[in-house]
Amino acid sequence: MKAVMRKEDQNFNEEQSWQELDSYARKAAEGIRPGLQNSDIEGYKRFLDMMYHYTLRSGDKLKAIADNSPNEELRDYFNHMYLEERNHYMLAQQDLKGFGLTPNAKTPQEIHDMDKFWDSLNGGHINGYLGALYVFDKRIVMTFNKVGASSTKRAIIGHCAVCQSQSEQYVNCKNPRCNRHFIACSNCLGEDGKVLCPQGCLE
């Protein structure tokens, strides 16, 4: 039987999604606020110019990763990222335009060095990735890349925030008022599969 979603349900879900996205943006803004307290407008302009150059080739790099990915899941993931990021540089470009500026014609040395290293990989990018990717869907973590072509083992480079043992399992803080998302190993989880975050949360 095919389920039919009512128009008011669709509107509710859409509104809920926008509210959730807005909350992510607010949390991100609050997270970087302390680092911007000592910044000034000239520093922000320099930051925008750096971000323009940093993201200018991000689409090409993600497309190269997609083309060299060893399986369909990774190809789909990086092709999706390519479509999302290929015009990212335009955000910084438009913000500079708001100040009456255009991006510096000369690529910053740091970006030049990074691009030079990237080009030196010559299509071997996938072999340079270890661990796992954090993805924004129900999987949370997307694993890939074994240690050696014939190996069944993977390199786990994440660490439990409580005991520092190797792990890549994400959980939410047991305190619902905190709800911080962090890595915790199975040994540190309680019988209910939950744990307080190590930032000093109290029940």
Domain end, chosen from 127, 146, 169, is at 127
Does residue 199 belong to any structural domain of this protein?
Answer: yes
Q: What is the pLDDT of residue 1?
A: 35
- Give the structural domain span for 122: 40-127
Q: What is the pLDDT of residue 106?
A: 93
Domain end, chosen from 127, 159, 182, is at 127
Does residue 22 belong to any structural domain of this protein?
Answer: no
Q: What is the pTM of this model?
A: 0.50
171-199: buried (b, 16+ CB within 10 Å) or exposed (e) per residue?
bebbeeeeeeebbbbeebbeeeeebbbbe
| Terminal Cα-to-Cα distance of the chain (whole angstroms) | 45
Compute the distance between CA of residue 167 and CA of residue 198 in angstroms, rounded to an integer: 15
- Chain-wide mean pLDDT for the chain? 78
Q: Are residues 123 and 152 in the same domain?
A: no
Q: Are residues 123 and 46 in the same domain?
A: yes
Does residue 34 belong to any structural domain of this protein?
Answer: no
**pLDDT at residue 18 tops 50:** yes
At 146, the pLDDT band (50, 70, 90 cuts) reads low
- Which of the pair, 115 or 149, is modelled with greater confidence? 115
Q: What is the pLDDT of residue 11?
A: 46
**Three-class SS of residue 75?**
helix
Structural domain tally of the chain?
2
Q: Are residues 146 and 103 in the same domain?
A: no
Radius of gyration of the chain (CA): 21
Does residue 26 belong to any structural domain of this protein?
Answer: no
For residue 66, CA distances in Å to 20, 116, 133 come to 29, 19, 14
